[in-house]
Amino acid sequence: MREVDFDICVIGAGVAGASIAAYLGRHGFRVAVVEKDMREQDRIVGELMQPGGVTQLQEMGLGQALEGYDAQEITGYALFLRDQHFSIEYPGAQTGRGLRNGKLLQALRAELLAQKNITVLEGNAVSLTEADCVISGVQYIPKGADTTATVNAALTIVCDGMFSAFREKLSDTTKTVSSYFLGLLMKDCELPFPGHGHVIAAEPSPVLVYPVSSEETRVLIDFPSDQAPRKGEELTHYLRETIGSQMPKEIQPAYYRAVEEGKFRVMPNHLIPANPRLKAGAVLVGDSLNMRHPLTGGGMTVALTDVHNLADRLIAIRETFAQEQIEAAVAAFYETRYAANASINILADALYKVMSDPDLKEACYSYLQQGGKKSEVPLSLLSAINRDSNKLIQHFFAVAVHGAKRIILPHPTPANISRSYRMIRNAVHIISPLVLSQRPGMFTRATFSVAEKVFA
Ligand X SMILES: Cc1cc2nc3c(=O)[nH]c(=O)nc-3n(C[C@H](O)[C@H](O)[C@H](O)COP(=O)(O)OP(=O)(O)OC[C@H]3O[C@@H](n4cnc5c(N)ncnc54)[C@H](O)[C@@H]3O)c2cc1C
Q: Describe the crossing of helices 442-454 and 414-436 by its angle, rounded to 10 degrees.
A: 140
**Member of 8, 9, 10, 13 binding ligand X (CB under 6 A):** 13
**What's the CA gap between 76 and 383, in Å, rounded?**
9
Minimum distance from residue 244 beta carbon to ligand X (Å): 20
Q: CA 231, CA 180: separation in Å to the nearest integer?
A: 13
Pairing of strands 31-35, 118-131: parallel
Give yes or no for residue 165 binding ligand X (CB under 6 A).
yes
If one asks whether residue 12 binds ligand X (CB under 6 A), the answer comes out as yes
Piece in contact with ligand X (CB under 6 A), picked from 31-39, 221-229, 321-329, 419-427: 31-39
Question: Among 8, 10, 24, 34, which residue interacts with ligand X (rule: CB under 6 A)?
Answer: 34
Cis before 204? omega within 30: yes
For ligand X, the binding residue among 148, 301, 305, 375 (CB under 6 A) is 301
Q: Is 51 in the site for ligand X (CB under 6 A)?
A: no
- Strands of 201-354 (E only): list them: 207-211, 216-223, 265-271, 282-284
Q: Are 351 and 297 in contact (CB under 8 A)?
A: no
75 binds ligand X (CB under 6 A): no
Per CB under 6 A, 14 contacts ligand X: yes
Min dist CB 202 to ligand X, Å, is 16
Dist. CA 79–CA 168, nearest whole Å? 38
Exposed / middle / buried, residue 37 (Cβ in 10 Å: 0-12, 13-18, 19+): exposed
153 near ligand X, rule: CB under 6 A: no
Q: Least distance (Å) from ligand X to the CB of residue 15?
A: 4
* x-or-dash string of contact with ligand X, 109-128, rule CB under 6 A: ---------------xx---
Of 14-22, 61-69, 365-373, 382-390, the segment contacting ligand X by CB under 6 A is 14-22
Residue 298 near residue 379, CB atoms below 8 Å: no
Q: Which residue type, as a one-letter code, is found at position 371?
A: G
Which range touches ligand X (CB under 6 A), out of 35-43, 233-241, 276-284, 365-373? Answer: 35-43
Span near ligand X by CB under 6 A; candidates 73-81, 144-152, 158-166, 408-416: 158-166
Q: Does 266 bind ligand X (CB under 6 A)?
A: no
Among 211, 299, 378, 440, interactor with ligand X by CB under 6 A? 299
Min CB(223)–ligand X separation in Å = 11
Tell whether residue 385 is a contact of ligand X (CB under 6 A): no
Measured N-to-C along each axis, helices 323-355 and 389-408 cross at an angle, to the nearest 10 degrees, of 10
For ligand X, which residue of 9, 10, 16, 108 counts as binding (CB under 6 A)? 16
49 sits near ligand X (criterion: CB under 6 A): yes
- Residue 426: count other Cβ atoms within 10 Å of its Cβ: 17
Work out whether 159 is an interface residue with ligand X (CB under 6 A): yes
Nearest approach, Cβ of 89 to ligand X (angstroms)? Answer: 19
How many other CB atoms sit within 10 Å of the CB of residue 182? Answer: 22
Out of 297, 378, 403, 440, the only residue in the binding site for ligand X (CB under 6 A) is 297
Minimum CB–partner distance for residue 190 and ligand X (Å): 21
Q: Where are the alpha helices (DSSP H) in 156-298?
A: 167-170, 233-237, 252-261
Report if residue 137 touches ligand X, rule: CB under 6 A: no
Per DSSP bridges, beta strands 149-158 and 3-11 are: parallel
Q: 395 — phi, psi (to 5°)?
A: -70, -30
Based on CB atoms, which residue is closest to ligand X, 15 or 400?
15
Strands, E, within 44-195: which ranges?
A: 48-49, 72-74, 76-81, 84-89, 96-98, 118-131, 134-142, 149-158, 176-187
Judged by the rule CB under 6 A, the positions of this chain that interact with ligand X are: 11-17, 34-37, 44-49, 124-125, 159-162, 165, 181, 267, 269, 286-288, 294, 297-301, 303
